[in-house]
Chain A
Amino acid sequence: MKKRYLTAALIVLSVCSVFIGVKDISPLDLFSLTEQQIQILLVSRLPRLVSLIIAGTSMSIIGLIMQQLTRNKFVSPTTAGTMDSARLGVLVALMLFTSAAPLLKMAVAFVFALAGTIVFMKILDKIKFKDAIFIPLVGLMFGNIISSITTFFAYKNNLIQNISSWLQGDFSIVMKGRYEMLYLSIPLMVIAYLYANRFTVAGMGEDFSKNLGLNYRQVVNIGLILVAAVSSVVLLTIGTIPFLGLIIPNIVSIYRGDNLKNNLSHTALLGAVFVIACDILGRVIIYPYEIPIGLTVGVIGSGIFLYLLMRSRAYAS
């Protein structure tokens, strides 16, 4: 897959995304837009497109970073407890500061996501049996434990509805004034890009990194901070998008290898393309109603995930 095909796909899908919706706006109207149409474009359609691109890109990239740092292809924010910890953080923020400002919620979610991911990394250190499939299973179990704690306290405090709204990723809630926090991901992606080489070296292990004079712990910590920050930002604006950080880096790895310098831009592009495609699908399948993206990505993603699992098994033997 060439980068320019991906770019072309991204542009085509972006255009489609802007012109699909209950209110009819066709590309031909662009030069004679009514007041109302301009409103719709600026308040809903364009923010939605921007948030799709940012969320798709950043979730895929942090998935890639996690896989590199844990040296396991099946670790991602949704299979390592990161997302579940962030959700617990949101709950705690809601309980402590009843009407918490979005930024405060994000900060608390970030702290929890980071702590959760670090705990998972500690568990990883302790596990001797480093099977490719066993480790994400441990991550899922760990995530479920955190999740049940969240549910327990949410029930006790009548917050279950608030919390479940963060379970399903949904782009239909994206509107001007409600998604801008997502822009925080952009500088984080720039940092990821600058650290690409270091992440690749760190992915070869601690001894290997030390031999090349790399400060391993520091690089791992920066990676985890990026992961936690992006996870909490996306969780609060969009919700959980399952499998995204898992399947996109894996697909790219198959045809581009694991050198982050070569595959980072592909991962970003493919992530955006995949999310926009799933979003469009969710919007047209029961038109004029919508299926939330968490569901479409979940169904398609789990299929691809199964395929990747089978493939890795065939590969290992």
Chain B
Amino acid sequence: MIEVRDVTKLYGGKPVVDSVSVAIARNQITSFIGPNGAGKSTLLSMISRLADKDRGEIFINDREIGRYKSNELARTVSILKQTNHINIRLTIRDLVSFGRFPYSQGRLTKEDWRYVDEAIRYMELEDIENKYLDQLSGGQRQRAFIAMVLAQDTEYVLLDEPLNNLDMKHSVQIMKVLRRMVDELGKTVVFVLHDINFASCYSDYIVALKGGKIVREGPTADIIDTPVLREVYDMEIPIETIGGNRIGIYFS
């Protein structure tokens, strides 16, 4: 379990995350939603120690993240930020093999390669595993990065806007894979999403933030609700149930 206790992050004296406490349950998909500047990404970065927190504590499996060795933490939590800035020429296979870095420091054993092969197969990248990242489409590249995180084999997988720059088909494909990772492999997935309907269709639990504070949190059905969303986004979003999913009609 991930437990965030009273965590604050200041930028230039102003809190962007303001005494937030939240518990993230295992073996579920939890999504952080909220308007721009709500502090979602910052919170995710602090949980994955990419950003330092100014106050508060974060426990992962009952241990404060500051008390993990960096290698150990890299075997427990992985994070994928928006990845459009990497312009290094690596093949998919090379990239995925770096997911084993926390275990092998780059000298991969047979066991490590087994994880690499498995991750590539799971993301259906076998046919293009020797292609360079700069030859891939956005969706393929995102899948390659997720394969790397899979090879990293962490209990917790955090993703910061994994659907950024992806078209509908690839977005759905990525979400389905994440869902399978939770249902089949027992992972715990946390992501930041902009589109409340993707959050509604694929997550078990939603945390809504605004102005650095948690406004509401609860099971998906409780949050995807017109009065709650009005509080979060300051807009009227009617909810329809389509095919068993609660869909917000926010286009007009």
Contact = CB atoms under 8 A, between A and B. Distances in A.
Nearest to B75: A213
Contacts of A208: 81, 86
B137 to A, nearest CB: 16
Given A71-B87, A257-B89, A258-B89, A213 B98 contact: no
Contacts of B99: 212
A205 interface: yes
A211 B78 contact: yes
Contact of A197 (B75, B81, B85, B101): B101
A204 interface: yes
Most buried by A among B73, B78, B80, B105: B105
Contacts of B91: 257, 259
Interface string A189-214: 00000001110110111011011111
Nearest to B86: A204
Interface residues of B, number: 31
Interface string A20-41: 0000000000000000000000
B70 A201 contact: no
Contacts of A262: 94
Given A211-B48, A211-B79, A213-B70, A259 B90 contact: yes
Contacts of A212: 74, 98-99, 101-102, 152
A312 B78 CA distance: 33
B48 A197 contact: no
Contact of B88 (A71, A197, A211): A71
Q: What is the interface of chain A mostly: helix, strand, loop, or mixed?
A: helix
Contact of A207 (B69, B81, B101): B81
A213 B132 contact: no
A253 interface: yes
A164 interface: no
Nearest to A257: B89
Interface string B43-58: 0000011100000000
B50 A261 contact: no
B71 interface: yes
A213 B101 contact: yes
A210 B49 contact: yes
B35 interface: no
A258 B88 contact: yes
A220 to B, nearest CB: 15
Given A71-B88, A210-B48, A211-B152, 15 more contacts: A197-B101, A200-B98, A201-B106, A204-B88, A207-B81, A211-B80, A212-B74, A212-B102, A213-B69, A213-B71, A213-B101, A214-B101, A253-B89, A257-B89, A262-B94
11 contacts: A71-B88, A198-B106, A201-B101, A207-B50, A211-B80, A213-B71, A213-B72, A214-B101, A257-B94, A257-B132, A258-B89
The 3 closest A-B pairs by CB, nearest first: A197-B106, A213-B74, A213-B71
